[in-house]
Amino acid sequence: MRAPEFWKLPPNCPDWRATLLAPCGHLYKHLTARRLSRGNPEKLKIPVICIGNINVGGVGKTPTVIWLAQLMREKGHIPHVISKGYGGTTKSPIQVDAKKHNASDVGDEPLLIAAFSDVWVGVDRMLTARTAQNAGATILILDDGHQDPHIFKDFSVIVIDSDYGFGNEKCLPAGPLREPITTGLSRADACIILGENTNTSLCAALGNLQKFCAKLQPLETGMNWSNVRVLAFAGIGNPLKFFSTLENLGATVIHKEQLDDHQKLSSRLLTRLYKDAQAQSAQLVTTEKDAVRLPVEFRSKVIALPVRLIIPDTEAFFKILLNKIPALRIF
C-alpha cells in the first residue's frame, strides 16, 4: 500500500478526507491504547533494544537495525534480530537462512538483515525472542516492535524521516500515525532522525528526547554512476529519496517507477521495466531491499544500490545505551 497524499500534508493544512476519517482515527487510537494498557511486558534474561516508529510504513528502520547490529558486534556482543517477517508466510520461530529462504518465506527485510546479523522470524515475538535467547544471543534487537506490549524493552529508539516527520499528525486511517505522538514518544529513550532537512515543527514535537541525526550513504562499490542512463524502481517507504540518491551520484534517471512498499515484483512488471530500459539504452537499478525480492531470472539484469546508515555521534549513542543498560559494560 502506498500512503495517501493527504497524510503528508502539514498538520495546519486541513483536508476533507482526514476530517471525514477522523472518527475512525480516534477509534484506532483508543484501541491501540487499550491493547498497550492490557499488556504485561515480560523481561528477558538479555537486553532488548527496540527499533520502531510511530508512523506506519517505512522510515528507515531496516538500515538502522543493520547499523545497530554491526555496532553491537563491534562492542563484543552477539546480536540477534527479531522480526515478524512482514510479507512472508512463516509463522513459527525460524532462523533466517539466505541459502534456504526467500522473501516469500520470511519477508524482504529479514532476508536483507540476515547478511549482517542472525535474524529470527515469527508471528509471536515473545516466543521468537526466547528462541533467539536460547540460541546464544547476548542482546536482542527488536525490529518494529514499539507498539508490542508483550516484550519488555530495555531501550527504545524511534526512527523518523526528517522530510516526512509525522505527516498530518493524525491516527490511522485519517493519517499515518499508529498512536498519538506524545504517547509514542513517552515510551522512547532516543530518536534517530534520517535526513538533512531541519524540520522545526518536528524538533518541537520531539521536545527533550535525545536526538541523533543520521543519513543514508551509498556504499562504495567501484561503480561510476556519472552519466549512466538509469531506469530506477523502488518499493520502499520513500522511493523519491532513492531516486535522488542516484541523481546525486551523477546518474541520469530517465524513468522513476514508484512501487508500493513490499510490492511483489512479478515477472510481468519486471519484463515491462526491462524492455523499457533496453529500448532507452538504460540500466535497471533498484534498492537492496527490493533486490532480495527479485525472481532468479532477473537478478543478473538489475543492479542494486546498497546504502548504509551513518550516525556521526555513534559513541554518544552508545554511551546513552551504557547508562540505560549497565549489562553492556561486561563486554
Residue 66 pLDDT level (bands cut at 50, 70, 90): very high
pLDDT at 163: 87
pLDDT at 195: 87
57 vs 141: CA distance, rounded Å? 19
Residue with cell 526467500: 102
Mean pLDDT score of the chain: 94
Residue 81 pLDDT level (bands cut at 50, 70, 90): very high
Mean pLDDT of 294-301: 96
Q: Tell me whether strands 283-287 and 252-258 are parallel, antiparallel or unpaired.
A: unpaired
Bridge partner list, 213: 193
Residue 105 has pLDDT above 60, yes or no: yes
Omega prior to 173 cis, within 30 of 0: yes
46 vs 56: CA distance, rounded Å? 28
CB 39 within 8 A of CB 149: yes
DSSP 13: S
Residue 331 has pLDDT above 60, yes or no: no
pTM of the model: 0.95
By C-alpha distance, which of 306, 305, 290 is closest to 230? 305
Share of the chain above pLDDT 70, in %: 98
Angle at 119 between CA 114 and CA 123, to 5 degrees: 130
Residue 307's identity, in one-letter code, is V
64 against 204, higher pLDDT:
64
Helix axes 314-324 and 61-74, enclosed angle (nearest 10): 80
Mean pLDDT of 282-302: 97
- Numbers of helices and strands, H then E, in the chain: 11, 13
By C-alpha distance, which of 137, 131, 141, 87 is closest to 109? 87
CB 47 within 8 A of CB 328: yes
**DSSP helix/strand/coil, 29:** helix
Residue 328 pLDDT level (bands cut at 50, 70, 90): confident
Bridge partner list, 207: none
120 vs 125: CA distance, rounded Å? 9
Q: In the chain, what is the straight-line distance between the N-terminal and C-terminal CA atoms, in Å?
A: 42
With a CB cutoff of 8 Å and minimum separation 6, the contacts of 183 are 33
